[in-house]
Structure 1
């Protein structure tokens, strides 16, 4: 009995000590979680949990699209669809990086986190915008000439365009952190925005080139140009909104420090989902979709005359006319032989002329009945030569 009482007392002591320790931590987080990552599970900061869930779902969808494209790659036979597969993977990789970078703006900042934020923000957006610009160039070539650049040219163009932003980001970090010995987190919103001017140039160039991709004679590729145009236009709206809020709106509302990270995190999530819905999914669907067969008849197309595409008419209608004409000629020929035989008293003394089904041959009976003149051809034989 005393043993049971001792165990019960020990259990109550453990529960009470755990409750006292949990009271000092954030609601929804564990006991051993570092304070730096409290925002990932703190139920009091609901924006972090919502953005985290949406970013996680976007990351899973992006990984699923990459897996689908990888599995279907051996079955893609069309050269114009197989060339940009590497560019699709590069774009999905950049989109996955945007969803992953969202978590860096949810957790508490330090020197390492701030350096990652400042470097990867511009580089990842430059990668996505470079891929969109390369895709716009490809679609423009397809719409006008029916041929696209090779896959290596598309990937090389995107990487070279992204490399410019990599140099800008490295130079900015070196000048502000190493040379001036300033903390990585001590930067003004205007400095952060000015370091992204090259990304804005890529976005505007993509939007302009997407307009030109809608003009051309190969209309089947114009739907790809429409997807790029919609993606670029929505990205412009997102960038105008977040820069306005980040530079001026938060200061006007006196929430500059509190709303800075949520503004940037929401921008990353919104941009990532725009890339997935309006560009990645349509492009992958168009890539893995088998090309329609050119010989397949389109019975709903009324712009062209209907042609005979089966052997039914040839086997039934044409031989029927031929057999009627042949039967008519054979009957006439037999009647002429009988008449000649009765006149000469014999049916086999007079040789017969060779039978030709396509020439109207008047018989002797027909000449006698017509008064000694050669009759004209029947209506079905009008226009044919005699003999």
Structure 2
């Protein structure tokens, strides 16, 4: 008698023939029967639609493609999902390894793998094939830019004109006209004007630690030199004529040496403010990008716009005081009519600065 286990083993793994179907029945290594299928194509034959056998499947595929009639001229693609483009990542469907969705990467992302888009980070941009990232070039005002040529030209012309005036003063240093104008304060004022014109070149230069330091030192200091000299001059005139009107003695500290000392004291206040600013905020550079323009990197000084405006507060105070004294001395005798010109200058200066401060704050995000 044959044991039942042996019969089961023989029927599970060994092929055998069937008298009814006249075919061989076979099993795979798991003991499952090998499926066999006929493949039909639904097509028109003789004006009628029917199925045409075009192949079969046993342990492999046999297909006669010449018998297949396609609905269109080209053979359709047999796949669940099309391959993703080079800027797209696959999003696999749950429980399916053959079907996926193609998710476009953002312009600033690269393909970490075929399933993941990864941000390059600020200041970086993906390569053409999205395989990696590279550092974006830094943008800043260059000497040959149209935005720089205009200010440089005006600055150079102003610098030359100021030097010419300075030369005239030096040549006529001991004449009564130069002495009466307060030559010491005039020289300080001319130095401040030269510094102001020089700041144009410093602000156009490529940002670096040295350039950023000079910007902080020069911006407020150049204005402080100019307006300290004007404030000292107008204050002296006001004290002289107030003393004459009140019948008092000659005012103190109206000698040239005293005037220079007062002017330097006013300038030193601005230098103290700038020195504290340099200590609190170490000068340097930073790369700036905005969410709206990730592909643009701007090289700037690491100075906050609020700090820059705060450093000009002292200058605004000098302008206001200078304007007040200029208004008080507007009715001086003809021999002191420079007070009227100073007054006119300060009135226009106030208007310019009222426009400058908000414009500077609003446009500070654009390096041009």
Matched residues in 1 for 2:262 and 2:335: separation?
21
Q: CA deviation at 1:195?
A: 1.7
Unmatched 5+ stretches in structure 1: 1-34, 260-387
Matched residues in 1 for 2:229 and 2:205: separation?
29
User: In the alignment, does 2:238 pair up with 1:238?
Assistant: no
Q: CA deviation at 1:240?
A: 1.7
Instruction: Report the counterpart of residue 39 of structure 1 in structure 2.
Output: 142
Structure 2 contact 330–343 (Cα < 8 Å) conserved:
no
Structure 2 contact 172–178 (Cα < 8 Å) conserved:
no
Instruction: Report the counterpart of residue 173 of structure 1 in structure 2.
Output: 278
Instruction: Report the counterpart of residue 163 of structure 1 in structure 2.
Output: 268
Instruction: Report the counterpart of residue 130 of structure 2 in structure 1.
Output: none
Instruction: Report the counterpart of residue 120 of structure 1 in structure 2.
Output: 218
Change (3 A) 1:78 1:244: closer
User: In the alignment, does 2:159 pair up with 1:50?
Assistant: no
Matched residues in 2 for 1:49 and 1:182: separation?
24
Instruction: Report the counterpart of residue 366 of structure 2 in structure 1.
Output: 257
1:132 to 230, 240, 246: 230
1:63 to 134, 138, 163: 163
DSSP 3-state at the match of 1:108 = coil
Matched residues in 2 for 1:185 and 1:212: separation?
41
Matched residues in 1 for 2:204 and 2:285: separation?
23
Larger radius of gyration: 2
User: Alignment RMSD, CA only?
Assistant: 2.7
Please list, as runs of the form range in 1=range in 2, the aligned pairs for 1:100-115 lying within 5 A after superposition.
Answer: 100-115=198-213
Matched residues in 1 for 2:257 and 2:267: separation?
15
Instruction: Report the counterpart of residue 327 of structure 1 in structure 2.
Output: none
Instruction: Report the counterpart of residue 330 of structure 2 in structure 1.
Output: 214
The size of the alignment, in residue pairs, is: 211
DSSP 3-state at the match of 2:337 = helix
Matched residues in 1 for 2:302 and 2:317: separation?
26
Moved over 3 A (4+): 35-38, 141-148, 181-184
Moved more, 184-193 or 140-149: 140-149
User: In the alignment, does 2:340 pair up with 1:226?
Assistant: yes
DSSP 3-state at the match of 1:257 = coil
Please list, as runs of the form range in 1=range in 2, the aligned pairs for 1:68-83 lying within 5 A after superposition.
Answer: 68-76=168-176, 81=180
Structure 2 contact 140–367 (Cα < 8 Å) conserved:
no
Please list, as runs of the form range in 1=range in 2, the aligned pairs for 1:1-387 lying within 5 A after superposition.
Answer: 39-40=142-143, 42=144, 45-76=145-176, 81=180, 84-144=182-242, 149-177=254-282, 185-215=301-331, 219-248=333-362, 250=363, 256-259=365-368
Change (3 A) 1:173 1:38: closer
Change (3 A) 1:77 1:200: closer
Relative contact order: is structure 1 or structure 2 higher (C-alpha 8 Å, sep ≥ 6)?
1
Instruction: Report the counterpart of residue 47 of structure 2 in structure 1.
Output: none
Matched residues in 2 for 1:95 and 1:186: separation?
27
Structure 2 contact 196–222 (Cα < 8 Å) conserved:
yes
Matched residues in 1 for 2:173 and 2:150: separation?
35
The structure with the greater share of residues assigned to strand is: 2
Matched residues in 2 for 1:37 and 1:63: separation?
30
Structure 1 contact 213–222 (Cα < 8 Å) conserved:
no
Q: Deviations over 1:76-132 (max 9, x none)?
A: 2786x06x1111001000100111111011122111111110111111111111001
Matched residues in 2 for 1:213 and 1:142: separation?
10
Change (3 A) 1:53 1:71: same
Unmatched 5+ stretches in structure 2: 1-137, 245-249, 287-299
Q: Deviations over 1:29-72 (max 9, x none)?
A: xxxxxx999822x1xx2121111111001111111111101111
Q: TM-score scaled to structure 2, two decimals?
A: 0.53
Q: CA deviation at 1:189?
A: 1.0
Q: TM-score scaled to structure 1, two decimals?
A: 0.50
Structure 2 contact 326–340 (Cα < 8 Å) conserved:
yes
Matched residues in 1 for 2:216 and 2:178: separation?
41
DSSP 3-state at the match of 1:258 = coil
Matched residues in 2 for 1:37 and 1:241: separation?
25
